[in-house]
């Protein structure tokens, strides 16, 4: 039942600019008009109650018209364009600037081979773009209450190593250790590497009961980063959220595939950084990214 409630929320509450947004808005408006008409009908009811359908329809039309005008006015004030998808709209300008700065840094580093720490910084900037896009596209805009984060993992024999995280995971509030080493057997990212496709977990505590209970996230989306050779998986982008079923709805695989397509430019840029700036060999990429002069990556639970 809990999973159903979260998926209902995902279906109606996410800004998509498509059928979900229209159906969700219509349902909310209908409920509001019905409640108001019912309350008014009670005031004028005699011995036998009669619902005022005429008032209901007038209220519904008025509420819908008011919402449409409000949305148009809001978009106009923000300098937006009408009738365009709203996925990623709120922070799109910031993402464009960050992506442009990252591409410029990559172009400056192309003539030389940057040190592993510099390569990890570039990966981190791309993860910032990914985290921003997912937060925006899935309706998680509150900067004061971050719940979506991005990580990059590479395969190292029987382990997976987190070699980079988005900048918010380096802050004092949300800090997570990097690099960090995990057994492949306990990681969704390992299944993504084996399947060579995007996967998600709705509730980590239910689907991986052996996982530690103190993890700050409940749902996970993992996307493989594929190199020039379509058979080579360079690593996995893992996006996690503290909200269960954040990447799932009633239509299996729809949200996961939508996000993978939306994030494809960032994934390709990440592949360019790895193959163009680090090495064309996957094993050399892994060795370079996990190299750390200060410490051996600790092992996580």
Q: How does pLDDT run along the chain (301 residues), one tens digit per residue? A: 666 666 666 655 544 444 556 677 778 888 888 888 888 777 665 666 677 888 888 888 888 888 777 766 664 554 444 333 344 555 666 777 777 777 777 676 665 665 667 778 888 989 998 998 888 877 776 677 888 999 999 998 888 989 899 999 998 888 998 888 888 887 899 999 999 999 999 888 887 777 677 788 889 999 999 988 777 889 999 999 988 888 887 667 777 888 888 899 899 889 888 887 677 677 777 777 777 534 456 666 6
Distance between alpha carbon 275 and the CA centroid of its chain, in Å? Answer: 25
What one-character-per-residue DSSP string does 141-209 give? --TTS--EEEEEEEEETTEEEEEEE-GGGGSTTT---SSEEEEGGG-HHHHHHHHTS-EEES-HHHH-T
Helix (H, G, I), strand (E, B) or coil at 241: strand
Task: Say if residue 139 is in the same domain as residue 210.
Answer: yes
Decide if 56 is inside a domain: yes
pLDDT at 193: 92
DSSP state of 297: P
**Predicted pLDDT at 80:** 45
Same domain (yes/no): 116, 244: yes
Is 121 contained in some domain? yes
Q: What gap in Å lies between CA 100 and CA 120, rounded to an integer? A: 17
What letter would DSSP give residue 264?
A: H
- Residue 268 domain-assigned? yes
Q: Is residue 12 a part of any domain in this protein? A: no
> 41 with 103, same domain?
no
* pLDDT value for 42: 75
150 in a domain, yes or no? Answer: yes
Range of the domain at 136: 92-290
Mark residue 157 as left, alpha or beta (left: phi above 0; alpha: psi -120 to 50; beta: remaining). left
Q: Write the CA distances from 136 to 14, 25, 95, 173, 189, integer angstroms.
A: 9, 19, 11, 21, 23
- What totals of helices (H) and strands (E) does the chain contain, helices first? 10, 6
Tell me how far apart the alpha carbons of residues 207 and 245 are, in angstroms, rounded to a whole number. Answer: 11
- Residues 125 and 222 grouped into a single domain: yes
Q: In this structure, is residue 69 part of a structural domain?
A: yes
Domain boundary among 77, 104, 127: 77
Is there a domain that residue 59 lies in? yes
Specify the pLDDT at position 77: 53
Neighbours of 285 (CB within 10 A): 24
Show which of 31, 49, 77 is a domain's final residue: 77
3-class secondary-structure state, position 63: helix
Asked if residue 96 and residue 64 are part of one domain, the reply reads no
150 with 266, same domain: the answer is yes
Q: How many domains does the chain have?
A: 2
> Could you tell me if 21 and 109 lie in one domain?
no
CA 160 to chain centre: 21
Residue 152 contacts residue 192 (beta carbons within 8 Å): no
- The CATH number of residue 111's host domain is 3.30.450.40
In this prediction the pTM is 0.69
* Residues whose CB is less than 8 angstroms from the CB of residue 163 and which lie 6 or more positions away in sequence, other chains included: 120, 123, 152, 153, 154, 178, 179, 235, 289, 290
- 182 and 218 co-located in one domain: yes
Burial status of residue 153 (CB atoms within 10 A of its CB: 0-12, 13-18, 19 or more): buried
Query: What is the rounded CA–CA span in Å between residue 169 and residue 149?
Result: 7
Buried b (16+ CB within 10 A) or exposed e, 20-55: bbeebbeeebeeebeebbeeebeeeeeeeeeebeeb
């Amino acid at each position: 039942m809990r999973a159903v409630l979260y998926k209902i929320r995902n279906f109606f509450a996410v800004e998509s600019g498509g059928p979900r947004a229209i159906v969700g808005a219509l349902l909310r408006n209908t409920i509001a008009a019905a409640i108001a008409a019912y309350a008014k009908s009670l005031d004028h009811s005699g011995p036998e109650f009669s619902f005022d359908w005429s008032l209901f329809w007038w209220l519904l039309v008025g509420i819908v018209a008011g919402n449409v005008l409000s949305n148009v006015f809001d978009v106009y004030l923000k300098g937006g364009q009408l009738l365009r998808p709203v996925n990623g709209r709120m922070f799109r300008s910031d993402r464009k600037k960050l992506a442009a700065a990252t591409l410029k840094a990559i172009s400056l580093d192309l003539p030389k081979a940057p040190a592993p720490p510099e390569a990890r910084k570039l990966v981190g900037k791309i993860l910032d773009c990914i985290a921003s896009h997912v937060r925006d596209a899935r309706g998680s805009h509150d900067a004061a209450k971050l719940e979506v984060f991005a990580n990059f993992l590479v395969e190292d024999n029987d382990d997976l190593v987190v070699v980079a995280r988005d900048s918010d995971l380096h802050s004092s509030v949300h800090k997570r250790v990097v690099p960090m080493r995990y057994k492949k057997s306990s990681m969704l990212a390992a299944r993504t590497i084996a399947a060579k496709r995007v996967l998600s977990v709705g509730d980590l505590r239910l689907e991986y009961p052996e996982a530690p209970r103190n993890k700050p996230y409940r749902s996970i989306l993992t996307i493989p980063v594929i190199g020039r050779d379509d058979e080579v998986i360079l690593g996995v982008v893992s996006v996690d959220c503290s909200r269960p079923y954040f990447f799932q709805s009633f239509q299996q695989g729809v949200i996961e595939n939508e996000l993978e397509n939306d994030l494809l430019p960032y994934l390709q840029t990440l592949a360019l950084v790895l193959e163009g700036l680090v090495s064309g060999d996957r094993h050399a990429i892994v060795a370079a990214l996990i190299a750390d002069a200060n410490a051996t990556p600790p092992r996580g639970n």
